[in-house]
Every structure is written in C-alpha cells, then in structure tokens.
Structure 1
Amino acid sequence: MFLSTYEKQLDGKRRLLIPQEFRTSENGAEHGVFCFFSVESDCLEAGGDKLMAEYVALIESLPFGDDWRTALEETVYAGQKPLAYDSGGRITLPEGLIEDAGLTDDVVIVGMGPRFQIWDRARWMSRKEERRQLARRAMRERGEFGRRRLPGNDQ
C-alpha cells in the first residue's frame, strides 16, 4: 500500500524522487508507475499494476459505448503515461501532466492505499483542513448510521 505524505521538489528536468517505500513488488510499482490526471481532483494520480487492474475492472464493468466508460477510458487509458524509475528512483513527469495538474517545483506525494497522488504543495495545503473536516463528518455520520442499524435501536 502507498502510505504517508512526502514533500518533494521537481528538479529542472521535471524529475521526482518516488519514496523507496512506494517502489515495491507488493503494490506492483517496483519498476515504475502509471500516472495520469486524476479523475476526482486537480492533481496527478499514480500507482502500480494493482491500481491499473482496479481501473480496468471498473471500466470493463460498464457497457461498451457508455458515456461514463468512454470518459474513463479517455482519462485513464489515453491520459496515462507509464513512467519508469531511473537509477536514483526518480520518474520524469511529462510537461503535459505537469501543466494539467498545475504543478510547480514544490510538490506533495500523498499515499492513498492502492494509489498515490502528486499535488502542487500550495494547492494541497489549502485543501488539507477542508478534507480533514469532511473526514470527521464522514466518521460521525457513518458512526451514527451504524448505531441506528444495531438490533433493538429504533432511532
């Protein structure tokens, strides 16, 4: 799994050091990663073979010709770049992906279980507190939902 958050810098050649903990065979990212503009946020999404398998299963579960399927195919398949590590464990981000995500020299790599995201540091910092509040609300509401479903609880 991709866990933790790392602050990094893109060098002049658009190279980014991927944490060693992320470069493992367990998550399918020992030789490189798939990287594309995120479906859900203004950042890049990346991961290994396991992440790609999840997207393939999701896309193939939709009927051929379905507009949602086509949108996912265009974003994930057409938009992704397979990026191999250099001898130092770095990937080189294509200029188009950097522009799409609005990345500057200061970036944050955010582990999210089966995937990780690459954010512009300023954008990540401005969203962090809002996301924490949303997570708190989700836990509270999920907890309330779970308590309402307990046997004998008529709320």
Structure 2
Amino acid sequence: MDRFVSTYVLRLDAKGRISVPAAWRALIARDGLDHLYCHPALDRPALDAGGMRLMAGIDTLIERYPPYSEAREELAAALYGAIETLKLDPEGRVTLTESLKTHAFIKDEVAVVGLGTNFRIWEPGRFRAHLAEANAKVRALKQGLGDQGATREHRGEAT
C-alpha cells in the first residue's frame, strides 16, 4: 500500500493515545520517520496528519506564493506554525495533545480517514455529518456529469 486509505474508528486509551493503523505506520516508517506530523485542519474541525507527503503538500502550497508575500507568510504560520510532531511509541500509538483534541472536539473516540497522501482525524459524529454532506455533493456532481453526457448524446456529439 502506498496511500492512506480506508476509515477506522478508534478509542483513545486512558492516556489519550490512539493506535495508528499498521499499514499507515508502514507508510510513515518508509519515510524514515518515527513520528507523524499533525496540525489542525484550516477549514474544518478535524486534524490533518501524515508523513513526508503531507509536508511536501504544504511546501507546494506555500511555494505558490512569492517569498516574503503576506499570503505566503500567513500560510506558513498557519500550517508550519501549528504542526505538532507526534512520536509513535513501540506499539504504534500517538498521544493527541489537548490543543489538537480541542480543535477537533475529540473526547474518547476518533475516526481516522485516509485521504491518499495524508489522513484526517475527526470526532466520529462530526465525520459522519461531513461524509453525508460530501456524498450528497458527489451524487449531485455525478448527476450533473450524467446529464451533460446525455445532452451531448442527444445532440449527436461524441462523448
């Protein structure tokens, strides 16, 4: 596996730790890391986490802006400045800090959701609501794409 895929619902243990799925730990270890990077998502009550590909994505985003520009400095502060390095223990667990849990409204369970190059950590109820909204948007997009194809076929255009 070379992507963070699937969704897992996990309980925090008494020390506030979660177990990172084994396949995901292997991806992080392949980067040569014994930790993962985690920061509050900029636009939702969730956490973004991962290894070097998460960091590369942040680098690419920030590098779109000219050096010393206000936008670049704001993004760098919001992303690099908020990243926490979460050390993996020998059993593959990490401890979520209070500030991370507060941002994502996490109490005793999390949903960890693969996003390909990284993963997102949610409070499970908030993730279910987000997923329902995302699925509705995808259904509407699919319907729109189907309607476009049917319209072209009706007019005799190639699809």
**TM-score under structure 2 normalisation?**
0.83
1:101 shift after superposition? 1.3
Equivalent residue number for residue 90 of structure 1 = 93
1:144 shift after superposition? 5.2
State yes or no: 1:58 paired with 2:56. no
State yes or no: 1:48 paired with 2:51. yes
Paired residue secondary structure (2:26): coil
| Count of aligned residue pairs for this structure pair | 153
Cα contact 1:9–1:107 (8 A) shared by 2: yes
Correspondence 1:105-124 to 2 at 5 A: 105-124=108-127
Structure 2: gaps spanning 5 or more residues = none
Equivalent residue number for residue 22 of structure 1 = 24
State yes or no: 1:6 paired with 2:11. no
The separation in 2 between residues aligned to 1:54 and 1:64, in whole angstroms, is: 17
Equivalent residue number for residue 81 of structure 2 = 78
Q: Which has the larger radius of gyration?
A: 2
The separation in 1 between residues aligned to 2:32 and 2:78, in whole angstroms, is: 20
Distance 1:72 1:149, change over 3 A: farther
Moved more, 16-25 or 135-144: 135-144
Distance 1:11 1:29, change over 3 A: farther
The separation in 1 between residues aligned to 2:14 and 2:144, in whole angstroms, is: 45
CA RMSD, Structure 1 to Structure 2 (Å):
2.5
What is the aligned-residue identity percentage? 32
Distance 1:29 1:136, change over 3 A: farther
**TM-score under structure 1 normalisation?**
0.85
State yes or no: 1:129 paired with 2:132. yes
Distance 1:70 1:16, change over 3 A: same
Paired residue secondary structure (1:78): helix
The C-alpha deviation readout for 1:98-142, integer Å capped at 9, x for no partner, is 111111101100001111000001111222211111122233334
Moved more, 22-31 or 69-78: 22-31
1:64 shift after superposition? 2.7
Amino acid at match of 2:138: A
